[in-house]
Chain A
Amino acid sequence: AQSVTQLDSQVPVFEEAPVELRCNYSSSVSVYLFWYVQYPNQGLQLLLKYLSGSTLVKGINGFEAEFNKSQTSFHLRKPSVHISDTAEYFCAVSDVDTGRRALTFGSGTRLQVQP
């Protein structure tokens, strides 16, 4: 069984400030890791993914995340946010070994960028 924990339900931040959205996971098997973004009344858009290799992955819109196996974390960061980054962000995992590709999601973090 897998679980994903996003500790912060809401993160308010001022425009041009840095931000970190936290994600921790629990799994008995190796996992792939993802961050998705959801703008109001939209579907989910993939921001970035970790499949293998370098633990620092870069995604769209200036976001990056670092996979830390020992801490079972995959925190999302951006050095300078914009108003347009206001959205809900979801961390997710899927199995590597079983081939079951269904995603297990965290509860989401609402990023609110203020002017």
Chain B
Amino acid sequence: GAGVSQSPSNKVTEKGKDVELRCDPISGHTALYWYRQSLGQGLEFLIYFQGNSAPDKSGLPSDRFSAERTGGSVSTLTIQRTQQEDSAVYLCASSLGVGPEAFFGQGTRLTVV
């Protein structure tokens, strides 16, 4: 596609429910990143996929967070047993190979009530 696509754009969920956020990277981009943007914490790195290598999960805040990338393309970020502090905008980005320039999607705004 023309850019990084994320869905849904907005998600409201009840505390304790699981949510899945989807990211469709730019076609041909082998690297994919998830970031979280919240008022208190700013922009935080969550996880990074590069080709077929093991993902860099060093930014995931707890074991309730997980992500997968199927077929080297689409990625899903899953948050289990959501808490109110998970409320944030979740941003996905992709880049070409090991190039440093990352292109961001519009984000998914998650609200946990």
Question: How many A-B residue pairs lie within 8 Å, measured between CB atoms?
Answer: 53
CA gap between A51 and B95 in the complex, in Å: 15
List chain B residues, Cβ under 8 A from A107: 42
Question: Quick one: which of B82-113 are within 8 Å of A by CB?
Answer: 91, 93, 95, 98-107
Question: Quick one: which of A33-63 are within 8 Å of B by CB?
Answer: 34, 36, 42-46, 49, 51
Interface size class of B (residues with CB under 8 A): 20 to 34
Q: Does A103 contact B (CB under 8 A)?
A: yes
Q: Does A100 contact B (CB under 8 A)?
A: yes
Q: Does B68 contact A (CB under 8 A)?
A: no
Name the prevailing secondary structure of the B interface residues. strand
B59→A102 contact, CB < 8 A:
yes
Partner of B100 from the list A36, A44, A94, A105 (CB cut-off 8 Å) is A94
B100→A43 contact, CB < 8 A:
no
Contact status of A102 and B33, CB under 8 A, knowing A43-B107, A90-B43:
yes
Nearest CB in chain A: distance from B79 CB, A: 19
List chain A residues, Cβ under 8 A from B4: 43
Q: Does A115 contact B (CB under 8 A)?
A: no
Question: Quick one: which of B38-73 are within 8 Å of A by CB?
Answer: 42-43, 45, 48, 50, 56, 59
Nearest CB in chain A: distance from B57 CB, A: 11
Nearest CB in chain A: distance from B75 CB, A: 15
> A residues bordering B, Cβ < 8 Å?
32, 34, 36, 42-46, 49, 51, 90, 92, 94, 99-108
Given contacts A43-B91, A102-B48, 10 further A-B contacts (CB under 8 A): A34-B100, A43-B4, A43-B107, A44-B93, A44-B104, A46-B102, A99-B98, A101-B100, A103-B33, A108-B43
Report 7 cross-chain contacts, Cβ distance below 8 Å, ordered by A residue: A34-B101, A43-B106, A101-B31, A101-B50, A101-B99, A105-B43, A108-B42
